[in-house]
């Protein structure tokens, strides 16, 4: 039998890039040593020489020449270690007692079945090592950005492949809501975690993790990459809004200005990658009042009362600022709370508040779900609604313009 099967095996194994040559050689030798032990009960007197580049394998059998009488009658005779003088002379007439006879063992001697089993064993062993190498490689890269090509799109996740053909998983829960990909697209994401499932590494990616936004800042802002600007905290509602607290220990550097860039040049690239997610960059400070004020931007605050025991902050502001503080869908105030670590309660600070009317008072004329939509974005009194233009109310709520005009008409009639 020729070496065709063996050469095919080596051709496959050379494709495994994550296994070093020395490790692969040891596995090859170990597998063939197992074949020898199965046939001869020991591999002690055999030398295995492997050349994976050419697909060559040489097995050499070393035995000591003993006299014929010892070979026939002695209990100490071991055919794996000894060869009779008569048998040695058949190989080479010049051999003498005590010399070592070395002969090559052809693969034919093991039989085709044994070679095929050895090939499968070899393949399994190296694939196990390959999987372990992939696991260790990506485990050390958790938190790094990676670009993968979409290979298959499923309902609950996307399968991507890196430049070495390793499989990566981007679950639906880790995608930005407006993400849409098709086969062949390149996707940038962060390595979230690496797991071993049934002996196979599973590499989980994310585009919604705060670490993804942090890595994007490192790519777009050299001062962040160099450590001149530190990102203290990031909070996100993926695809909607994010708040990033930054700090610089160098007074000559404006951390917010550096992150935003000239005319927003740096931040725009990040916003596009995040599907137009609004990003608020604020100066970090240990002054809680000031940090809350900055976190609630663009709203202007009149007064803040802090309760350190309950970690609550009561924020007072003019009625026209409340909706700005809360933001569309409540994103702004929720993120401000996460960023500062305080539960934030917003109160109106108005001299004529007593003249205002709560929206709930109009429940007999306005449907409850419409009132709830206004309250979600901070409009819970009549004046907070009618003091703003119609187009701004449309922008801040999810209501139709016709519905808003009817609500405004009802509310204005109360004051007329």
pLDDT in tens, 80-93: 888 888 888 888 88
Extract the runs of DSSP E, i.e. beta strands, from 130-226. Answer: 145-153, 157-161, 167-171, 186-197, 200-206
In this prediction the pTM is 0.67
Closest CA relative to residue 244, chosen from 263, 222, 205, 218: 218
Closest CA relative to residue 294, chosen from 238, 223, 237, 342: 342
Cα–Cα–Cα angle for 25, 31, 139, rounded to 5 degrees: 60
Residues of the chain with pLDDT under 50: 1-2, 353
Query: Which pLDDT score is estimated for 151?
Result: 96
| Cα 377 to Cα 329, 333, 346, distances in angstroms | 6, 10, 12
Extract the runs of DSSP E, i.e. beta strands, from 223-325. Answer: 229-237, 241-248, 278-283, 303-307, 312-317
**H or E segment at 33?**
helix 21-40
Query: Which pLDDT score is estimated for 154?
Result: 94
Query: Which pLDDT score is estimated for 2?
Result: 44
């Amino acid at each position: 039998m020729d070496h065709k099967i063996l050469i095919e095996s080596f051709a496959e194994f050379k494709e495994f890039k994550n296994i070093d040559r020395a490790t692969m050689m040891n596995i090859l030798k170990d597998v063939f040593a197992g074949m020898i032990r199965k046939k001869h009960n020991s591999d002690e007197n055999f030398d295995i020489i492997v050349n994976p580049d050419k697909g060559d394998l040489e097995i050499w059998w070393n035995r000591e020449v003993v006299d014929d009488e010892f070979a026939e009658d002695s209990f100490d005779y071991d055919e794996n270690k000894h060869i009779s003088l008569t048998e040695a002379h058949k190989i080479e007439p010049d051999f003498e007692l005590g010399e070592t006879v070395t002969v090559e063992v052809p693969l034919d001697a093991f039989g085709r079945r044994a070679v095929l089993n050895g090939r499968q064993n070899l393949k399994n062993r190296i694939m196990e090592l390959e999987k372990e190498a992939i696991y260790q490689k990506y485990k050390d890269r958790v938190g790094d950005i990676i670009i993968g090509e979409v290979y298959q799109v499923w309902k609950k996740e996307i399968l991507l492949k890196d430049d070495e053909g390793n499989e990566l998983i981007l679950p639906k829960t880790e995608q930005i809501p407006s993400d849409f990909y098709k086969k062949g697209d390149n996707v940038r994401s962060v390595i979230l975690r690496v797991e071993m499932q049934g002996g196979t590494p599973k590499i989980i990616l994310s585009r919604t993790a705060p670490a993804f936004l942090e890595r994007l800042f490192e790519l777009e802002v050299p001062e962040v990459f160099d450590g001149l600007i530190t990102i203290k905290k990031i909070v996100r509602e993926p695809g909607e809004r994010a708040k990033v607290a930054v700090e610089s220990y160098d007074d000559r550097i404006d951390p917010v200005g550096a992150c935003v860039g000239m005319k927003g040049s740096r931040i725009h690239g990040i916003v596009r990658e995040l599907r137009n997610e609004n990003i608020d960059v604020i100066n970090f400070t240990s002054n809680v009042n000031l940090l809350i004020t900055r976190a609630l931007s663009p709203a202007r605050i009149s007064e803040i009362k802090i309760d350190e025991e309950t970690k609550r902050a009561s924020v007072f502001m003019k009625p026209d600022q409340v909706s700005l503080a809360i933001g569309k869908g409540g994103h702004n105030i929720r993120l401000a709370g996460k960023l500062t670590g305080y539960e934030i309660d917003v109160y109106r600070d108005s001299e004529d508040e007593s003249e205002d009317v709560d929206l709930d008072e109009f429940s007999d004329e306005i449907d409850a779900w419409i009132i709830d939509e206004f309250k979600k974005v901070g409009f819970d009194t009549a004046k907070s609604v009618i003091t703003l233009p119609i187009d701004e109310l449309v922008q801040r709520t999810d209501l139709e313009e016709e519905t808003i005009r009817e609500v405004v008409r009802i509310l204005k009639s109360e004051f007329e």
